[in-house]
Amino acid sequence: MILPLPSAGPAAAGARRVAALFPLGLLVLGAAFLTTVALAGPASAAPTAPTAPTAPVAPTGPAVDGGVDISIGGDSPSTAVTLILAITVLSIAPSALLLVTSFTKIIVVLALTRNALGLPTSPPNQVLTGLALFLTIFVMGPVFGEINDLAVQPYLDGGITAAQAYDSGSAPLKEFLLSNTRDDELKLMVGLSGEEQPADRESVSMLTLIPAFVLSELKSAFIIGLVVFIPFLVLDMLVSASLMAMGMMMVPPSVVSLPFKLLLFVVVDGWTLVTTALVGSYT
């Protein structure tokens, strides 16, 4: 009697699969070896002789002067540069308005006139400042126009540099300052500055001329204010003497004299006289 053979287990099946894949693995390893040899061929070749170093080349100068070109449209300054200059001018405009124009003298005279009338808050400060500002524009109009013609427009057109524009623009302003500065204040500031005595008035520096001009303007403003105060002071004294003669010592003289001051100021057209005197002092 012939007995049946036992069936192959899982281990036998795995061995048969490994035996079937063994030739395929040898083929893959051989292909990888050949590829590695082909790629490493040039690197494993014999080294070549080193090349001789080349001599250094002398540096050449730049084709341009190396400056930064900030101009567009020919030689005219760019929009960015113009904007920066405009912001700079606006930032120093309040100081320039007070120190190198007629604004200081005009606002001081207007304030003294208001105090002479006995009205400390009327007209308000905003009205006096606005009036002084427009009177300053009237007085400084020719100077500003000359600065615009000689410096601003040529610089914007690219005809002159910034340094040339400053020199050309400061000449009319310096002429205005010199023509409205007294010799006493100018000598005082030259002595305080410690600088060498200039040959003439035109040789004085702007740093010395500007404070001398401001002191001269303040002196002129107080002189005009004194002239304005005298008529109102006489009127106050007359009213006070009249009240004393009538035995009305308890009545404040300022209350009684205020209507007469206003009447006198309106009759003589005081604001016109003051404005004419201020503007005419610069012509």
- 3-state SS track over 215-238: HHHHHHHHHHHHHHHHHHHHHHHH
Q: Would you say 198 and 204 are in contact if contact means Cβ atoms under 8 Å apart?
A: yes
Domain range enclosing 199: 79-220
Residue 258 included in any domain:
no
Report yes or no: 111 and 128 within 8 Å, Cβ to Cβ: yes
User: pTM for the whole thing?
Assistant: 0.65
Residue 239 domain-assigned (yes or no): no
Asked if residues 120 and 232 have their Cβ atoms less than 8 Å apart, the reply is: no
Does residue 47 form part of some domain?
Answer: no
| Beta-carbon contacts of residue 203 (< 8 Å; ≥ 6 apart) | none
Please report the pLDDT score of residue 266 as a whole number. 87
- Long-range Cβ contacts of 239-243 (<8 Å, 24+ apart): none
Q: Are 151 and 168 in contact (CB under 8 A)?
A: yes
Closest CA to 102 of 131, 122, 124: 131
Residues of the chain where predicted confidence (pLDDT) is lower than 70? 1-48, 61-78, 81-82, 85, 89
What's the pLDDT at 6?
Answer: 47
Run of H or E including 95: helix 79-99
Task: Give domain status of residue 74, yes or no.
Answer: no
Number of domains the chain is built from: 1
CA distance 16 to 141: 112
- How many residues comprise the chain? 283
Q: In this structure, is residue 243 part of a structural domain?
A: no
CB atoms within 10 A of CB 62: 7
pLDDT at residue 4, rounded to an integer: 47
The amino acid present at 3, given as its one-letter code, is L
Phi, psi values for residue 20, rounded to 5°: -75, -35
Tell me, yes or no, whether 193 lies in a domain: yes
Does 28 map to a domain? Answer: no
pLDDT at position 194, please?
Answer: 76
Asked whether residue 165 is assigned to any structural domain, the reply reads yes
- Alpha-carbon span 160 to 168, nearest angstrom: 10
